[in-house]
Amino acid sequence: SIPVFSQAQRARVNASKITESITENQLQATGAYLQNRYKQFLESYRSNLEIVNYYENEGLKSADVVTETIQKQFVNGEINYLDFVILINQAINIQSNYADAVKALNDTIIQINYIN
pLDDT tens for each residue of 20-46: 889 999 999 999 999 999 999 999 999
DSSP per-residue codes, 45-59: HHHHHHHHHHIIIII
Taking a C-beta distance cutoff of 8 angstroms, is the pair 46, 99 a contact?
no
User: 99: domain range?
Assistant: 7-115
Average model confidence (pLDDT) across the chain? 89
Query: Sorting pLDDT into bands at 50, 70 and 90, what band is 4?
Result: low
User: In total, how many domains does the chain have?
Assistant: 1
Instruction: Determine, yes or no, domain membership for 2.
Output: no
Residue 63 lies in a domain: yes
Residue 3: per-residue pLDDT: 59
Q: How far is CA 79 from the centre of its chain?
A: 41
